[in-house]
Amino acid sequence: MTTTIEWTEETWNPTTGCDRISAGCDNCYAATLAKRLKGMGSAKYQTDGDPRTSGPGFGVAVHPDTLDAPLRWRQPKRIFVNSMSDLFHARVPREFVGKVFAVMAATPQHTYQVLTKRPDRMARILNDLAWRSSVYLRESTLDLRGPAREIPPWPLPNVWLGTSVEDQRAADLRIPALLDTPAAVRWLSCEPLLGPVDLGGWLPCGRCGARNPLPSAYDDDLLCGCQPPRFGSIDWVVVGGESGHRARPMHLDWARSLRDQCAGADVPFFFKQWGGRTPKANGRQLDGRTWDQYPTEVAGVAR
């Protein structure tokens, strides 16, 4: 489905529904939209969630009939996976997550942007060798009418894995799990940004660009003598304010700080919106310009 989300081109929702787990979920746009879609009779939004954490039409549901959609999109697209759900919610079966990854493996022409507030479960699943083998077995059975394909490498070069970070507490909890997950590109969605965030040692070294540990990673003669992050680092940061009639304000200095941290580490920075009751009216310029930077993939590794 085409979308107005600035940093993507298409949305794909093989699962729908979720539960609020942190402050960033308080005014969830997806929960509000799901309630509306349920009232309109949309088949995908007839499962109700717990009223304390979810709501009408926003119960977790899987939709096998939507799995093949990207196989029909021949032109390359940048696809946000699950704009209306969290693929790594505990009620999404591991087997179904494997089917989603098999489709992504079978469609290397697309770039998939996966975002979760549950990176700990994502890390456990994607580091499971048996689960990973099941992805390749499923991928080999897809689109058999097309030309023969080489077995894609792991991590999948066309899949960007991200986590939501609304404040420092969320950063401290979620980023380590994201960095413990094999990924071609790791990214953060700091939206809604509800407080200042110091990315500290999770960004590459601004002097030598070190992202991953080498055998001599802590030798005195390594590059500039830095200590790169243990598991890798963040490759892309998206920042945005909250939207809607109950939107909480985003402070200018919070957005500036993340932009400057990214600039110092040579990490692409994307400023999505200021947010507010009418987001379009507030625009998406930061200090007089738009920031629409994306990671560039080289052999499956962000540079």
Q: What is the pLDDT of residues 71-94, one digit of tens each?
A: 999 899 999 999 999 999 999 999
Residue type, position 141, single letter: T
The answer to whether the beta carbons of residues 126 and 182 sit under 8 Å apart is: yes
Q: Is residue 47 exposed (0-12), middle (13-18) or buried (19+ Cβ within 10 Å)?
A: middle
CA distance 279 to 44: 27
**2-49 per-position pLDDT tens digit:** 788 999 999 999 999 999 999 999 999 999 999 999 999 999 999 999
The answer to whether the beta carbons of residues 248 and 192 sit under 8 Å apart is: yes
Q: Is residue 43 exposed (0-12), middle (13-18) or buried (19+ Cβ within 10 Å)?
A: exposed
Give the containing element (helix H, strand E) for 224: none
Would you write out the chain's pLDDT as a tens digit for each of its 303 residues? 778 899 999 999 999 999 999 999 999 999 999 999 999 999 999 999 999 999 999 999 999 999 999 999 989 999 999 999 999 999 999 999 999 999 999 999 999 999 999 999 999 999 999 999 989 888 877 754 555 567 789 999 999 999 999 999 999 999 999 999 999 999 999 999 999 999 988 998 766 666 654 333 334 444 565 655 555 799 999 999 999 889 999 999 999 999 999 999 999 999 999 998 877 778 999 999 999 999 985 334 443
C-alpha span between 228 and 215 (Å, rounded):
12
